[in-house]
Structure 1
Amino acid sequence: MPASDHLAPGAPTPDQQPAASGVHAALLELRARAEKRRHLVTQATESYTPEEVRRLVQELQVHQIELEMQYEELLLAQGETQAARAQYVDLYDFAPVGYFSLSATGQIEQLNFCASKQLGTVRQRLVGRRFALFVAPAQRLEFGQFLARVLSSESTQSMELQMMRDDGTYFYGQLEGLRTDTSAGPQCRLAVLDATTRREAVTALAASETRFRKLFNESNDAVALLQGHLFVDCNDAALRLLGARHREQLVGKSAWSCAPERQPDGRRTIDLFRDSITEALRYGSKRCQALMRQASGEEIWLEASLTPIELGGDTPVVHIMWRDITAERDARQELQQGKEFIESLLDNSVDGIIAYDRTLRINTWNTEAARCFGVAAANALGRTLFEVLPYLEDKEAHELINRALAGERVDRLNQPFQDRPGNYDVHLVPLRPDDRAEPNGVLAIVRDVTERNRLAEEATRQRLRRQQAVLSAILTTQESERKRIAEALHNGLGQLLYAAKLSLERTGQTTRTHGPLKLLDEAIRTTRTLSFELTPGVLEDFGLRTALETLAERLAPANLPVRLHLAGLDGERLSTAVEITVYRTVQELLNNVMKHAEATEVEVHVAREDGHLYVSVEDNGHGFDAATLATQPLTGIGLAGVRNRVALLGGQLSVNSRLGQGTIVSFELDV
């Protein structure tokens, strides 16, 4: 549809009105000069002297020049008007923002190309429809109040609400409305901007801040915030680690206030802290170890991870995470004694073996682990687990590792590989020097289960194929049996009833048997209806469109108007299986509406487009809670049979219903 189709015929745009007025005035002036020139030309010259005639000719020449200049100005104004119109069309129809013109009742009178894309359908289907139909049902009242504010105010009104596309998907829209008065009455000019990304970003930011605060306060790891060289905040774990009772014992103090003046290697502690902070600010993070002193005077070894988290301003904030590595330093020496022997054994294992200490620093990484994760042992040993495999770090992973470090055996099954297809099982086994000691590390046993999963999936696919074959045979048998019963009703019982009627009529006992004849007519009609419902010959003879139209006509006596929207069904016919499935599905859904929905109208959409067939049945009945379909077994065989038919052709039935708001049942098939 061209962009210019949205403009009212003969109605100049705001940019065109001044130009149009100027052109009109120029035309009037040009006509007046032409009339004056015609008057001069038609005058008789016999009564004029040669001098007067010469002046008249000069005046005519001047008028001719003026007319030519006026004509050129007129052409220039016309060009400017056309350029202004093209610019308006480009600014309106191809703007990256959706523009709507709504009537006082909220009907869409005009919209641009972006607006039709936002609502997910072509403009021809949107003009004349109520805008509120594309607003989430829960916010339609708010939109009505917004429209009332726009129409009663001279200023721009704004709001954000959840909108619904034509296919039922949702997005968030930022609405800007302004009232304008037209000859037909007040109108709402509405601009709609898709604010889904912005809303998701704001929600994610708030959730991230909440998670960070919860992680900071409730983390089992000691965390402190350093601004400049002073502590500005810390969590309870940091206080426990340093043996402090109150935050005032740490907050406001220098970073080296809880450490001896010099480290065991002779380096000044103040130099160690300053250099570490400088490197963290320069490179984004810094990990170091230092000998610290608790409030009781006991010395402990801590590993600190320094990460700048706020670089703005003159004094950036640095996030410090402390880990007590005193026990790990001692345990590392013991583990080193048997390291070579253990590595020779582990490298011959069919499972990937990874061992790390309480600081998550890896000290064992065998050949199978290198194959599984694509990281050589030389690049993994001595680094922490999340440095080697950063994509594994999340809250759940920390929880599992803490459970393993606490002495619990943890299993995590069927995890996907990051850099190659396949899955693996991992078993976290606490490493203890003896049965009663606290674990000083974790042994991770990784087993590649890709081949096992492939065999299981193949077995599942074979089982599904067998199930589909059985279901197909059942449905085919059902259709054959329906056809046999229908033929028996039509050719057997129907003919007998009709013969009985003719026999009664020929006996001349019409008056006395008027009641029986009426009953026979009703029985014949019922027999024909049952025969049609069992196997509609019109579907086989004339195709899906005619069969659906006939089905809708047969429902007319039931006082249930059925509106059919059929598209793309007039060309090449669909396969027999698809036509039967669509017909039986629509038939079953319409029967359900008549029996249970208490609806006053039903809309059936069947559209074939680009190799896909879209089918939906929508009613305005009392609806039901669709969530119960996923948690409770289906009662009856209607909806279950429909779902099986659709699944047999590779589709998936979608049921969307709300109490008091009707039901939409839809599916899509590849044809």
Structure 2
Amino acid sequence: MSVTEQQQQARALALSEQRLSQALGAAAMGIIDWDFATGQWYSDTRAQAVLGLPYSARPHSTEIVAARLHPSDRARFRQLAARPPEEPAAPPTELDLELRLIRPDGTDGYLSLVGRVLCDPDHPRGRLLGLVRDQTVRRRTELELRYKNRLLENILGHLPVLLGRLSPGGHYRELVGAGLRRLHLADNELVGASIFEVLPTLAEPTRRLLAGESVDFVGMADTADGPVYFQSYGFFDAERQEAIVFAMDITEREQQRTELEQQQQFAQRLLDNSVDAIIAFDAELRVTAWNRQAAAYTGIETAQALGRPFEELMPKVAHDPQFRESVVRALAGETTELLSWTGRYFQGTLDLNLRPFTSPTQPHGMLLTARDVTQREQLLAETTRLQRRQQQLVLTAILTTQEEERRRIAEALHNGVGQLLYATSLHLTQLPDSAQLRAGQQLLKEAIRATRSISFELTPRILEDFGLPAALRELADRIPADSLQLELHLEGLDAPLAPPVQMAVYRMTQELLNNVMKHAQACRVVLTVARRPDQLHLSITDDGVGFVPGPAPASGGIGLAGIHNRVELLGGTLAIDSRPGQGTTITIDLPLPLELTPEPTTS
């Protein structure tokens, strides 16, 4: 062989070794040569890296290599070197092992040991020539896959789920899982059957699935026990040309959802049939319920109201101070009411009730009920008006009776007692003059004057003839100016009042002035009688001794008791402001117009 040929063979050998090294590197394999007799383990760089050994050009002992293995695999590894010697001519023994490693970081690893055990005169006990390869990733992947398979088997075997595989034509290739028990089916009982025939209710999503579309839907199957619902997910595996479906039994959930929907519908029907407007709010005052009556009151439909802040829906009501205060109290846990709420935001009158509200889906909020009481308020107003009219008619009858009686007494005084006194006075003028006679005549004059004064007070003809202003002025003029200074103010009395009202005002003024003169010890009095658009105002103020006002007397015909009864019958108000040593002010307000004439009767 020439030198050139030797060089070519050497280059070819080197190239072959280079390719072998590259191939082993690409495959993550290392070369080992294990002499069983000496226990020497020869390995290249890659083999030492797989075992986690520090690189050394010298061989490692069997025990050093065994120390890198998991304790459960060390005995099996050592038995390879303890095998009995074989005949030199014995055929090679194939070896393929998988051993577990302990990596330098303490984690487990896996390697495969593949090779041949050879025996020759130089190695009578044998030597192992082979390859080692790191199988950690593959092994962990296999273990993970096995774990997931076991997990899937346990899920399918114990939970109400099922797993199915369908052919492109819709025939079952596999259908397993504990979820089949609800359908009274065993695992794979439907293999070969068409899903379109077995479960026709799933035809539409199944067609989409077989067309290559991923589907997520709730399917229903009819059974003797009733409908069964499954939450299903499916996809089409184009590589294996089959559809995969995974489903979970959600029958209980669907039944609960259906029951809840029915309860909600029932509750909504109750709300909608209520005569009250009912609105529920969460803690942020967002509307969570809005019944039909609420829509009728506000003109806002339920769909428009739900979920929106009440402030957006009805800002004027939401910002009303009285309403806001009630809302704050209700959200704090207190039930509040706004009765006969009339006003600026709606036509009519409402009774509002606000109470704290909790529910499983709404931990905190408020429930508002509103009832239209416009008709009730109108009826109450009408009842009050009729009662007041009846009282006023009674008062009219009383006043008329009193005035008639006073007129009779006044006429009796004037025509009877007055005439007798006047005749007696004339008779005395016929007697001889004397001191006793003059004294008697003076007493008769005072008696005649007192009789005329009493007769006038009983029947003030000036009131009937000239009206209330003239009668009040005449009443003021009769008070002696040297004993009491009276300041009289009359306003708006040009238009005549009903005769009973005139008489009532006159009599109350007369009684008030008499009280001042008898009890107040006053020097100055201010009397005001004023007619205003909707009421008649009467007030009297003195600078007398004053008193401590007590509760209104329950009955009585004279003094403040009688005045109070008259004011009450006329539907008015009486207020007394007085303190000892600081004078007294009495204020009377009577509503106008007063209906003091009986309604005509119909036959």
The TM-score, its normalising length taken from structure 2, stands at 0.46
Structure ranking higher in strand proportion? 2
